Amino acid sequence: MAHVFSRLLLATEHTEFDVGAEALAFALARRCQMPLAGVLPIVSNSEYEALAPQIVAAAEAQAARRIEALQAQAQAVGISLDLQARRGEEPFQEIVDAAVEGAADLLVIRRRGKRSFLARLMVGEMVAKVVAHAPCSVLIVPRAAPMWSQRVLAAVDPRAVDLRIVAQAAAIAAECALPLSLVAVADGPSAEAKALAEQALQAARGAAQGVGLQPDLLLRSGRAHEQILAAAAECAADLVVVGRHGESRLLRAWLGGVTQKVVGLADRPVLVAVFSS
């Protein structure tokens, strides 16, 4: 059976905030018996390098130490890790470019970074930009989140049903021999809204059955992100799969949507499924 993902990329700065993402990326590489690529972004530009060469040298030395330490951790658990530093003005762009150049099909990253004003955001600014621009699916991992082992939950948007999201979630569940649940949240209490959500669930059921699974169907009403998270908790799903909708300005504004709230509030890994046009 072919693996759902075959080219893994870990984005990390090897800080305390990256521990969960690193551990889960290692677990995926071990499970799939494949090498792991990694990118460690360093903020840099020509003006900064000219004005403060000593600070730049210190940052480079720190990055080298972190790369050496993480490669040693990977070697200790039998993982082949090709971890490279990339320098640029925008860390998110270096991560996205590494994913493009390496033809990654799954990018693993932390949820938030160092404590600051931006730490009040549910998702760190850099991570939000990575998700908005990534060419592949992105797995966002809280610090204490382990590899999934119980159940996969996929959220189905009744207003924009994308069966590819369901198919990816079902393929992950099948590969890991886990049950699959599908949840759709009605956009209001009306019979019409509930009928639309039910119709979406039935279409999603067919996509899951295409890979040999018989999913549980969960129809809910209320605020979408709250109901998705509640469903994940109640059915003990330790991986939540959601979509990234839109390929325009709406995509860049994903921070205001359901996906951002699910990612920011979940205490388990969230996979944002992304597909090339």
97 & 166 share domain = no
CA distance 170 to 208: 5
Q: Is residue 234 in some structural domain?
A: yes
Q: Is residue 162 in some structural domain?
A: yes
| DSSP one-letter string for 251-272 | HHTGGGSHHHHHHHH-SS-EEE
Give how many domains the chain has, as a whole number: 2
Residue 94 forms beta bridges with which residues?
Answer: none
Q: Is residue 24 in some structural domain?
A: yes
Q: Which domain, by its residues, includes 177? A: 152-242
Question: DSSP character for 243?
Answer: E
pLDDT at 79: 94
Overall pTM > 0.85: yes
121 & 226 share domain = no
Q: Is residue 263 in some structural domain?
A: no
Chosen domain end from 77, 112, 141:
141
207 & 137 share domain = no
pLDDT at 252: 43
pLDDT at 144: 85
* Residue 234: CATH number of its domain: 3.40.50.620
86 & 35 share domain = yes
CA distance 231 to 227: 6
Report the chain (277 residues): mean pLDDT per 10 consecutive residues.
89 94 96 94 73 76 92 94 92 96 96 58 79 94 93 94 94 96 93 95 94 94 95 97 67 61 93 85
End-to-end, the C-alpha distance of the chain in Å comes to 26
HSE, side-chain direction, 13 A CA sphere, residue 81: 29
156 & 137 share domain = no
